[in-house]
Amino acid sequence: MKALKVFSAVLLVFILVGSAFAADEIRIGVYEPMTGQNAFGGQLTVEGIKLAHEQAPEVLGRPVKLFIVDNKSDKVEAANAVKRLIDKEKVVAIIGSYGSSLSMAGGEVAEKSGIPCITDSATNPLVTQGKKYYFRMCFIDPYQGAAAATYAYNDLEARNAALLLDVAQDYSVGLGNFFKKAFVKMGGNIAGIYKYQSGDQDFTAQLTDAISKGADFLYIPSYFAEGAIIMKQARELGADFYIMGGDAMDNPDLVKIGGDAAEGFSYTTFPYAPEMPDMTKEAETFTKLWRDKYAGTDMSEPNANSALGYDCYMFVIDAIKRANSADPEKITEAFATAKDWPGVTGSTTINETHDAEKPVGIKVIVNGVQVYTASVQPEM
Amino acid sequence: MTGQMFVQHFFNALTLGSLYALIAIGYTMVYGILRLINFAHGEIFMLGAYFIFYTGSLFNLPWVVGAVISIVLCALCGIMVDKVAYKPLRDAPRISALISSIGMSFLIQNLAIVVFSGIPKPVVRPDFFVKIMVIKGVRILPLAVIVPVVCFVLVLGLLFIVYKTKPGLAMRAISKDIETTRLMGVSVNRIIALTFGLGSALAAASGIMWALRYPQIQPLMGFMPGIKAFIAAVVGGIGSIHGAVIGGLILGFVEIMTVAFFPELSGFKDAFAFILLIVILLAKPTGLMGEKIEEKV
């Protein structure tokens, strides 16, 4: 009996002390694909988040604790991950996920619980559409499509553009439409809109027709697997137009597969690269921190995904500071009212649809290397 | 559409059609003998492309040697597939073997993802195949000429085997009446294995040429061409070798010319292939060259 009393007393002390600690620390959740098909992007993002956490381990004088969950590149797992972070870990804000479909699955859960989320790189407009608690650190596809058109018209002086779209991918069709809108508005002409389906390997008919219509520019907002083949076939058919794609082309294998045909290919991407000209102070700091931390590993060079992860964490910390509270509702409000927040990936303003309005980066393949050449403010 | 443009499209279509034709022959041969649609055929085609990739990239073998090795390996794979998935089901209802072949197709696809990884791989092509010839403004890849020629030669060789040799005679006998052939002392299983070997060797040949034409390979690359070639075989008349060649060419032309004449319909390229299939099945169920099939009682 006595033993039980002592035990209870000890337990009580533990519970009190424990809850005191729990109240003291601020818990932030992260759900990213650490395994599966999107693991490449997810892992880089998480490293960026960790690096930021090392820089800012506390806010409002309270320690920040990170809870990182692997969503396994799977929609069901993503929803479960968010559920676990909210119900079990009691987080006040969530970062994630790489991949639009994963973010959409997680967003459904977070919306019901009223926990603010910010995605690092999901560009599909649907991720935040009609959501009170979901935000993003990156631009959306309409913005990206318009940026491609702006760059094509102003920098490449294209006037007669052909589009080759993957009708099986919303991403591709969406980008194509926004490109067309912006390009026509600026005064360009659309030579033709051609379509194919994911997995197709023969584009000769579409390309032959585009060449005969005198196109001086080809927009292929597709995934790099088809993109590389399209480039090759276009050059084999003697096409000399510029070819441009979207952020899904950002893959080191593009040059390996495209070979000579990839030369001069350009694509829109997130506005950060370690080799970019005129870096902001934030970008310089981040690049140096990353290189110091990962020197000598196979991740010695930072990339846009890690920069977006870093920005997400810092943005959450900044929001907690501005809200002067770790209450989810107040953090959500602080997210929504962010204006000209200086991030590694550019100055960030959250608009009413919860998207970050920031410049779009342009990379061009020169001598087999992807070179960051410009940041474009699209003409919508 | 200028004449020059038309010729360009014509050559694009001829190349694609010949590749379909080669794959379709494999479907047709196996069907003619076993009345079985071998859905794993498209996967053998994919393996052919991977074998040529690995002989070149891992062992640095000359291209021709790699092609021979790839064809031999694929023939063995085809025989293996038969041994594992179809032979135990010889006397089972036909539907069982069909389902087994679909299972085999998924098995090989997923094995390939595990073994080769899902990331597309670039195929290095000998210059000889990709030195573009410009004839009066029409740009022709040597492949556009080589593929139909190779296809033609292989089909001739196959016809010779089927119509002029003893095993060929056995094949034709099996396709007429498997039981009687067995009673005549023909080793039926061996002939069936030979059929699978030949069909798979042709699939490998087309896989190799496909990889030269579209120099990027991935584990699911066999699925769509496999389905298309199957349509080609049905359109031409399943069970007929001439029919498979004609069907393949028709399909290649339908796909390319759809886009050439109606660019706005380019997204429906595959739909036209399937519409063609439905029309043929409604109008002439045995296909263009097919014989009247008498259901064996």
Asked if residue A263 and residue A331 are part of one domain, the reply reads no
Residue A288 has pLDDT above 90, yes or no: yes
Asked if residue A51 and residue A195 are part of one domain, the reply reads no
Residue A8 belongs to some domain of the structure: no
Asked if residue A171 and residue A132 are part of one domain, the reply reads no
Q: Of the given ranges (A28-37, A245-254, B107-116), which has the lowest mean pLDDT?
A: A245-254
Residue A20 belongs to some domain of the structure: no
Place of tokens 């991720």: A127
Greater pLDDT, A7 or B202 = B202
Residue A40 has pLDDT above 80, yes or no: no
Output the CA–CA distances (angstroms, integers) from residue A107 to A132, A175, A315, B96, in the order listed: 10, 23, 18, 44
Q: Do residues A311 and A327 touch, judged by C-beta distance below 8 A?
A: no
Supply the DSSP string of A296-341, one letter for each residue: TSTT-S--HHHHHHHHHHHHHHHHHHHHTS--HHHHHHHHHT--SE
Asked if residue A367 and residue A324 are part of one domain, the reply reads no
Structure token digits, residue A267: 């694509």
Residue A317 belongs to some domain of the structure: yes
B270 at the A interface (CB within 8 A)?
A: yes
**Which sign does the torsion angle of CA B234, B238, B243, B245 carry?**
positive
Instruction: Number of A to B CB contacts under 8 A, please give it.
Output: 89
Residue A1 belongs to some domain of the structure: no
Q: pLDDT tens per residue, chain B (297 residues)?
A: 677 788 888 888 988 898 899 889 888 888 888 788 889 999 999 999 999 999 888 887 888 899 999 999 999 999 999 999 998 998 888 889 889 999 999 999 889 888 887 777 888 887 777 777 787 778 887 877 888 888 888 888 888 988 899 999 998 898 888 889 889 988 888 999 998 998 899 889 989 989 888 888 888 888 889 999 999 999 998 888 888 989 999 999 998 988 888 887 887 888 888 898 899 889 888 888 876 555 444
d(CA A98, CA A43): 9
Residue A9 belongs to some domain of the structure: no
Residue A275 belongs to some domain of the structure: no
Cβ–Cβ below 8 Å for A206 and B259: yes
Chain B window 36-75: which residues touch A at a Cβ cutoff of 8 Å? none
d(CA A225, CA B185): 52
**Contacts with A229 from chain B: Cβ below 8 Å:** 214-216
Q: Of the given ranges (A97-101, A341-345, A360-364), which has the lowest mean pLDDT?
A: A97-101
- Taken in order of first residue, the domains within chain B and their CATH numbers are 3-283 (1.10.3470)
Q: What is the pLDDT of residue A334?
A: 95
Q: Of the given ranges (A33-42, A271-280, A297-306), which has the lowest mean pLDDT?
A: A33-42
Closest CA to A270 of A364, A139, A100, A175: A139
Domain span at A333: 26-139+280-344
Asked if residue A301 and residue A250 are part of one domain, the reply reads no
Helices (H), chain A: 2-24, 39-55, 75-87, 100-113, 141-154, 170-186, 204-212, 224-236, 253-258, 281-294, 304-323, 328-336
Cβ–Cβ below 8 Å for A206 and B216: no
- pLDDT category at A23 given cuts 50, 70, 90 is low
What's the domain count of chain A?
Answer: 2
Residue A196 has pLDDT above 70, yes or no: yes
Q: What is the pLDDT of residue A73?
A: 83
Asked if residue A366 and residue A222 are part of one domain, the reply reads yes
Give the pLDDT mean for A210-238: 89
d(CA B39, CA B85): 11
CB-nearest to B215 from A196, A206, A232 is A232
Cβ–Cβ below 8 Å for B260 and A167: no
Asked if residue A327 and residue A368 are part of one domain, the reply reads no
pLDDT tens per residue across span A122-159 = 888 899 999 999 999 998 888 899 999 999 999 999 99
Cβ–Cβ below 8 Å for A202 and B214: yes
Q: What is the pLDDT of residue A38?
A: 76
The pLDDT > 70 percentage for chain B reads 97
d(CA B228, CA B250): 11
Q: Do residues A340 and A359 touch, judged by C-beta distance below 8 A?
A: no
Asked if residue A146 and residue A132 are part of one domain, the reply reads no
- pLDDT category at A20 given cuts 50, 70, 90 is very low
Segment (H or E) for B145: helix B142-164
Q: What is the pLDDT of residue A326?
A: 93
Asked if residue A148 and residue A81 are part of one domain, the reply reads no
Residue A18 belongs to some domain of the structure: no
- pLDDT category at A95 given cuts 50, 70, 90 is very high
Closest CA to A165 of A242, A218, A213: A218
CB-nearest to B12 from A167, A194, A205 is A205
Residue A286 belongs to some domain of the structure: yes
Q: For position A177, which CATH number holds?
A: 3.40.50.2300
**Contacts with A194 from chain B: Cβ below 8 Å:** 259, 263, 266
Q: What is the pLDDT of residue A162?
A: 95
Asked if residue A239 and residue A175 are part of one domain, the reply reads yes
pLDDT tens per residue across span B44-87 = 999 999 999 998 888 878 888 999 999 999 999 999 999 999 98
Closest CA to B7 of B136, B147, B129: B136
Asked if residue A152 and residue A253 are part of one domain, the reply reads yes
Residue A325, min C-alpha distance to chain B (Å): 45
Asked if residue A168 and residue A126 are part of one domain, the reply reads no
Give the pLDDT mean for A188-215: 89
